[in-house]
């Protein structure tokens, strides 16, 4: 089977990674993350337990990828966005102007 190129992205507030990974056709989203080297770059985070997405849509880890896909590794939210808006509203601020 031919190789394909896909992107994989993971971000923290202080550090981000976006890279192209070459995998064999028939690889899964989890295969791409495993081959990406992100686990070594972010050793404090268990990427195998995180949710994956392709182009902003959540997918199962066994989803087959195709050339040009962007695999996104989603870290858990620290605070539900609705709760964050409520807390800001209590002090008269908004998400667009939290300061």
**pLDDT tens digit sequence for 47-90:** 888 999 999 999 999 999 999 999 999 987 776 778 777 877 88
User: What pTM was estimated for this model as a whole?
Assistant: 0.74
Q: Say yes or no to pLDDT of 98 above 60.
A: no
The domain segmentation of the chain, as residue ranges, is 3-90
What is the pLDDT, as a whole number, of residue 13? 83
Percent of the chain predicted with pLDDT > 90 = 54
φ/ψ (deg, to 5) at 49 = -95, -5
Q: Can you name the CATH fold of 3-90?
A: Ubiquitin-like (UB roll) (3.10.20)
Q: Which of 43, 24, 41, 42 lies closest to 32 in space, CA to CA?
A: 24
């Amino acid at each position: 089977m031919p190789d394909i190129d896909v992107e994989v992205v993971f971000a923290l507030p202080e550090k981000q990674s976006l890279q192209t990974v070459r995998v064999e056709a028939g690889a899964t989203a989890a295969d791409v993350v495993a081959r990406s080297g992100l686990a070594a770059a972010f050793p404090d985070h268990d990427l195998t337990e995180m949710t994956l997405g392709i182009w902003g849509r959540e997918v199962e880890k066994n989803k087959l990828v195709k050339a040009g896909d962007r695999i996104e590794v989603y870290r858990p939210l620290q605070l539900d966005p609705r709760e964050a808006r409520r807390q800001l509203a209590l002090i008269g601020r908004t998400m667009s102007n939290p300061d």
